[in-house]
Chains A and B, each alone.
Chain A
């Protein structure tokens, strides 16, 4: 399935590096999301973009910076991360951001911070 793609699939970075995660959706959706999934924890919603405007930011540290240049692309810029930021980062999209909308997830980027 290629509805939502993410690159890279795996990333290893040092704490002083700067990197970016990319997400692209081919479903014509208007809302995109970044989630963090750590071991034995529920999915954490990091950012929501609806019609290219950030709708919610759940107090995510500033070392994570999202960018949504258009409704099909979403980036997560990473800067001076900590080892505890190692996790699976999932992108999702939905038609709208309203109640009842189904989200479709990308395969995720598995991030390791050394």
Chain B
């Protein structure tokens, strides 16, 4: 079983729509969670951290469900500029230190 799994999509949504992505992780002892955004042929950039209590940044809301071992990202009022690949990142404690696990990414295209 993969450490981190994401639905690759693609998700094609109209402008103004609300879209949600989930990411599941296999290690129940995982400690930290992030969402990154990667534009085509560019490097990943941090979008937001994911806290147990859930957190919101403008149109973006991230949530963590430890019982079911998944994190989610909700985007409200989608903009054309939201089109990108969204990567979830899970940090787990390994034998020699912290292991960073990346999902394969979920592709989002916002259509005019």
Q: How far is the CA of A106 from the CA of B45 in the complex (A)?
A: 9
Residue of A at shortest CB range from B2?
Answer: A42
Residue of B at shortest CB range from A50?
Answer: B97
Q: How far is the CA of A41 from the CA of B46 in the complex (A)?
A: 19
With A55-B96, A100-B91 known as contacts, the answer to whether A43 contacts B102 (CB < 8 A) is: yes
Q: Are A40 and B98 in contact (CB under 8 A)?
A: no
Residue of A at shortest CB range from B33?
Answer: A100
Q: How far is the CA of A104 from the CA of B34 in the complex (A)?
A: 12
Residue numbers in A under 8 Å from B68 (CB-CB): none
Within 8 A of B (CB), among A19-76: 33, 40-43, 45, 48, 50, 55-56
Residue numbers in B under 8 Å from A100 (CB-CB): 31-32, 49, 91
Q: Does B59 contact A (CB under 8 A)?
A: no
Q: Does B4 contact A (CB under 8 A)?
A: yes
Q: Is the interface of B mostly helix, strand, loop or mixed?
A: strand
Q: Are B87 and A108 in contact (CB under 8 A)?
A: no
What 10 A-B pairs are tightest by C-beta distance, nearest first?
A43-B102, A105-B43, A99-B31, A100-B32, A42-B102, A42-B104, A99-B32, A55-B97, A56-B96, A107-B43
Residue numbers in A under 8 Å from B94 (CB-CB): 56
Q: Are A104 and B46 in contact (CB under 8 A)?
A: yes
Q: How far is the CA of A101 from the CA of B37 in the complex (A)?
A: 17
Q: Are B49 and A103 in contact (CB under 8 A)?
A: no
Q: Are A97 and B97 in contact (CB under 8 A)?
A: yes
Selected from B32, B44, B99, the residue in CB contact (under 8 A) with A43 is B44
Residue numbers in B under 8 Å from A104 (CB-CB): 46
Binary CB contact string for chain B from 35 to 52 against chain A (1 if under 8 A, 0 otherwise): 000000011111001000
Q: How far is the CA of A101 from the CA of B33 in the complex (A)?
A: 10
Q: Does A17 contact B (CB under 8 A)?
A: no
